[in-house]
Amino acid sequence: MAAPVEDQTPLKSKYDDYDFPTTAPEPKPGHPGHTTPEQDAKVEKLRSELEQLGYTERLDTLTLLRFLRARKFDVAAAKTMFIDSEKWRKEFGTDNLARTFEYNEKQDVFKYYPQYYHKTDKSARGKQDGRPVYIEKLGKIDLTAMYKITTAERMLRNLVTEYEKLADPRLPACSRKSGKLLETCCSIMDLKGVGITSVPSVYGYVRQASIISQNYYPERLGKLYLINAPWGFSSVFSVVKGFLDPVTVDKIHVLGTGYKKELLDQVPAENLPVEFGGTCECSGGCELSDMGPWQEAEWAKTPKWAATPTEEQYVVKNEESGPEQKTETQEAAQPSA
């Protein structure tokens, strides 16, 4: 039996159409359910200014709060970030990717760059299932071999497709199961095999991937575990930390080969693949299983992007015209006499 959905954060915008909990599990400033009147006013200000510019998509409260948090609740800066993101989405064709992009070479690509979502970590309230776990094995990257199978552009399109699927259906399903709003994921980056000589060959792709993550999908990182960090990595990272936001630094944990205890404190053994010290051995391999609440009928729902353009047009026009009037889409669907 599904757990009862906890009280929703009172959201008043016409854009706030959610079918999952909307209260963050921890009372952190600026997070849903824990905002101040001043922060709420900034959400409304940002939304109003974007509406005046003609924007009608992604103006819901949860999305705008993420952009505001990413810019320290500076409305002007968050507005610029949002506009830049929308421009990129249009140019990249992001809105249609989750529905239309097919990454048929995925299984072959994973031999040279495994990157996948797999089950969940522990929630803030204990052992209950929490956020999606995302895993990358950076030491396995072989771009020369991969580019015989795919292209950098298709790799980035797959990355963006997975970000879209993180937003829906992965995080909503995890939120339903947890009973609280979950907006971030727990990332594990395996550095085993990564050396100085391999850095130049992968830098270009990783840099592009990082730009997409930071600029267009803000506030999606919950925790990042860098495991099997090579000798000297911690020293280098200590210098890099000086250039990062303190909030981001607090999310990053650099661990050497003795990472298992700390990692298992975050991810239940039954959810962590055997190769990382857990007990999970999915049939066909964890890397390609995509197991998690988003695959469980009790928690999963059809993502909104799964609607075809025709269905979306029907819904919008039907709402505007009322139940007694035929829409253009309905008329077009009628068989000719």
* Domains recognised in the chain with CATH numbers: 11-92 (1.10.8.20), 106-302 (3.40.525.10)
pLDDT in the model for residue 307? 74
> What is the reported pLDDT for 239?
65
Residue 276 confidence (pLDDT)? 96
pLDDT of residue 6: 53
247-300 pLDDT, tens per residue? 778 888 889 999 999 999 999 999 999 999 999 999 999 999 999 999 999 999
Q: How far is CA 62 from CA 3, 167, 183, in A?
A: 23, 11, 9
Given this model, what pLDDT does residue 322 score?
A: 38
What's residue 4's pLDDT? 42
CB of 299 within 8 A of CB of 176? yes
- Candidates 83, 114, 107, 133; CA nearest to 264 is 133
At residue 126, the pLDDT reads 57
To the nearest 10°, the Cα dihedral for 273, 278, 282, 288?
A: -10
User: For residue 324, how many other CB atoms are within 10 A of its CB?
Assistant: 5
Could you give the 3-state DSSP secondary structure of residue 109? helix
The mean pLDDT values, 10 residues at a time, for the chain of 337 residues are 52 88 93 96 98 97 97 97 97 94 94 94 70 92 89 92 96 95 95 66 70 91 89 70 74 91 95 96 94 96 79 39 35 33
The 3-state secondary structure of 12-81, one letter per residue = CCCCCCCCCCCCCCCCCCCCCCCCCHHHHHHHHHHHHHHHHCCCCCCCCHHHHHHHHHHCCCCHHHHHHH
State residue 193's pLDDT score: 83
Q: What is the pLDDT of residue 258?
A: 94
What's the distance, CA 53 to chain centroid? 26
**pTM of the full predicted structure?**
0.84
